[in-house]
Structure 1
Amino acid sequence: MSREAPRPVTEETEEDVRQLHAEGCSRNEIARRLQRSGRTISVIAQRLGLSFDRTATEEATRARMADLAERRAILAEALQDDAERLTEQMWEPSVIYNFGGKDNDYNERDVPEPPADAKRALMSTAAQAIDRSLKLCPPESDQQGLAAVDAWLRGMMSD
């Protein structure tokens, strides 16, 4: 794989950078228009005594972080809902089934609630959902409550 030789930075390139900067273009926009790397544009701008306003970038970053926090909160709520549905299933009527015998027959039976192994699996899965929910959106001020819930979850999973 061959690399092209770097293009030299000419006075024309510097003038283009100066002009686009004066028009309010960002560093990345100038790089795109001139088909240069952002680093090259930064070096040219520094040499010309130009700087780029980072206010818009900082505001965009803050907005993005707020959006991500909101998405984590929504996901944490969905995980909490899942955990609640799973724990409710532990006490609802269930069907147990198996395949067996020489003909590999299918058999099922209705039971008033799931057997112990199914309850253990439901509780473990619910505990994982709660744990993930708490990691996505931990309580802000109740660290003792968080520790208690964590201990409860670990106890439920070890049973």
Structure 2
Amino acid sequence: MGSSNPVTDQERERVRELHAEGKGRNEIAEILGRGGRTISQIAKSLGLSFSRAAEVRQATEIRSADLAARRAAFAVKLQDIAETEAAKINAPHTYWDWGGKEHDFDTHDAPEPTPGDKRAYMSLVATAVDRSLKLSPPKEEGGADEVGSLLVGLFDKLRAKHGDH
């Protein structure tokens, strides 16, 4: 606010209006043909601030909450996958083969998956549950240690029942 070009009351009022519209310091300076420092001084004299810390903080909190909700939703999807795949461990299984001299395609049904396939299902289930728990840990249900020991017990029983070959 040098003496060569004093700030008018009209400019002060215009700064107040533009600030109320949400315009930033540099945008106001461009509109009024003034320097950013001059606009900052006018704003300060009017009790205005261009600080956006509160807006940034609120936007960050909203984004964090959105991400937490997305992680929780994805944890549910992983749990659904674990349950679907766990059901296949003792279910009839269709095997297929493509090959031979004529490149024939053939299928055959088995009453249940082979021990190796059961092991693969158990590994998939364990991974899905583990990732689900990491994305959305249980609250006050005894904690992850209790859930982990329940899973270990479940998989030990499955291995004992079906053999770990």
* Both proteins in one fold, TM over 0.5: yes
Segments of structure 2 that go 5 or more residues without pairing to the other structure are: 1-5, 31-35, 159-163
Match of 2:145 in 1: 144
Identity across the alignment (%): 37
Contact 2:15–2:43 (Cα < 8 Å) also in 1: no
CA-atom RMSD, angstroms? Answer: 4.2
Higher gyration radius (CA): 2
The one-letter code sitting in structure 1 at the alignment partner of 2:110 is: V
Choose which of 4, 22, 27 in structure 2 pairs with 1:25: 22
**TM-score relative to the length of structure 2:** 0.61
Distance 1:121 1:79, change over 3 A: same
Segments of structure 1 that go 5 or more residues without pairing to the other structure are: 1-10, 36-40
Partners of 1:150 and 1:33 in 2: CA distance: 62
Distance 1:70 1:103, change over 3 A: same
Partners of 1:144 and 1:73 in 2: CA distance: 19
Match of 2:127 in 1: 128
1:64 to partner: Cα distance: 2.0
Alignment length, in residue pairs? 141
Match of 1:109 in 2: 108
Contact 1:131–1:153 (Cα < 8 Å) also in 2: no
1:82 to partner: Cα distance: 0.7
**TM-score relative to the length of structure 1:** 0.63
Partners of 1:110 and 1:83 in 2: CA distance: 23
